[in-house]
Structure 1
């Protein structure tokens, strides 16, 4: 992609962004201006209104249930057949009169009415609180509420307030379960006022619909027929809540919204200027950062990464430069490592050959003298010489292994068997240092590699783990498992870990932090693992180290190995 095309794509994107920032708010406010009435309707039909209506419906039912409970309390006291007579009011004891007077004191109850088994009106308390004429007039407005009858409300009259009769059958146990009826004369205004809370926000005016297709306001005044109601919710059969929207709230606030639109245009222009300034400054900063990173690479600094930059095009460019730097660094490091290993290998092979022959002569001579020596002190000194010669031979063997490792003899074998063999070989050393070695491997897991190479690598890693632990109690775990297309062997210890400054050079030949180490152990391990088409990685922290050996599951012997 050319620089010109790149510039055009960025310019187009910023242009589209500017248009979106400018036009979207204008469209939003225009929609608000044109659909103000729809927003009002949405406001009152949302979950909040439904919740308020549900609360009113529940309050209505609770109010009537409380009156039913009041009837139940009265029924327990009014258990005499003499009371349920036409002249029952003359047979009412003073105590019951006081009780009835107490029950009619609340402002939502006008009185109490008595009826016989055929629901014929008998008398009321107080005496003129109800009459047979009024009772007959509300027969056509009867509704069933749970186990009671709700009659009314009465027609509106200026002579007396409207009432509702809540009548319930009661069973007199003392009179062989004789059934009579007892009713509460309820103040209709107390029921009509319950939906009052729906009109507190001023958007709707609440009304109550009653049997006979009649509608009353919240103070119990009748409403003329033909009115339009915007919302209606049922309380129970023939009773409902009706809501009428206040028309004054639907008038469009034209002047105010015009000022809002003018202010919005000015604000949009200011936002565009700020956005263009910000984008220009950000783009310049990103390009300067990329130039600095490329100049560092050109000057030979291949280890410092190029900082990632946000944005699709700039991010892709940064990623490509970083990928180029990383690959170039790997190629150079690989070439340097190959040349260094070749030089070290040739040097090690020559030194080992020139040193081993004299050492063998010295070793044979020393062992011969040791056999002939009878002086204990001289024998001890000669034994020390033989032991030190053995150590020197071990160093020379490591040099030869690094310089000319034996070609791998790869074969397919059960991994768990070889891991347990390694554990047995290390058993004495593990017990000597009071450490522990755990093997975790599936019984059927197979590996295609050289078993002797694997033994050498694992023994070296376990010994390194034990030796790096200062004190007693090192726990080493060899865990093998299949991961996607690779077989992974992890050697984990709970030691003090490796310093990050040492971790970068851990595989370099002759680099060691041990006072008596040669620095060839891990270098040889890397050579052997790579000879078997594997990879070795080390992860360390202050609470332990994990060495990861990764082998391809379908690895084959490399015929080009020399």
Structure 2
């Protein structure tokens, strides 16, 4: 059975407060009633004491004053047991029927309302007490009568304030408890709604309250969870899309590799059969480009399918010179200013073909970014005795800060016709050589720095050395 949290807070709290308040109210009411009774008794006791010690006759005026002070009625008997004075406005026949003695017999009366003697006169009940008169003046006894109705009314008047106060306090407690539990319940209900929306794939954050408490901390945790789930779902979607593209790309790359291999073999066959083919520089460059493209396809297969290939060390100078020869016709055609610095070091990298493909990809990206009449630069320098840096820069529009972390991911491209594998392959080649690929900015130009670990370094012979 569902028991709302509002009731879990409200019901026990109200029950405890109700029991405590009832105990306090009843105790206060009982004490107030007792105090009222004691006040009545004290007034009557003072009257009785005054009567017992009186040295004056009990005239009608004296009895009326005593009546107004105490609220009691008085009946006076003479020595012949006849009623001589009375404050009761009753029929004389009714007064004549009053007993000359109280049921408790003669004697002094100290506490009339605690006595057992109750008389009914003219339809009204009185607590009664008889006082033996000892001061003469022809008076034998005085009957003191206190109305039971007045006694009950005094008790009620003493009881009502305590009960009224207790009721008001209880009402305030219930209202305050309902409001507090309702506020907490509403906040929990909003959190529940937010969690339900998260379960439906909606990741809007919960609005934070202005005060800090456990529910605010829970809201912050829910917002963090929503952000993490949204990121995870986006990663899952990207992964699924990447797996699909990887599968398609891997299949296409496999067929392209076979086609490139066949084309390279055809050119080599033509070179072997044609006497002028061995001296034809264009065929040699075509073979070199086909081999380089084949290596790129192998790198693509390694990236998409995890295929392994044998890597061969190569001199950095040979790698750069060969790559520069490949791009020079392109920069001349687009009238791009291409400034490059060679390296005279004997330093070698562990994967010459991979580095050659990486530098070629970076140069082609720089040429596309610079555009016609643009500027592209290539420089090399040693960071330390073993770390070689190759920087390719351009004066193109650059990479926005929003996508700097995305450009190295496979299949991410800002080109409409691009597939987003060039930088991923370059970064993979850098890792294979225990290096890295990073994006830096220099003098307003976009610059990609390819850092590589070299073998047999000779930084003294390097064209430029940087700290």
Q: Same fold (TM over 0.5)?
A: no
**TM-score between both structures, scaled by the size of structure 2:** 0.35
Q: TM-score, normalised by structure 1?
A: 0.31
Q: Which has the bigger relative contact order, CA under 8 A and spacing at least 6?
A: 2
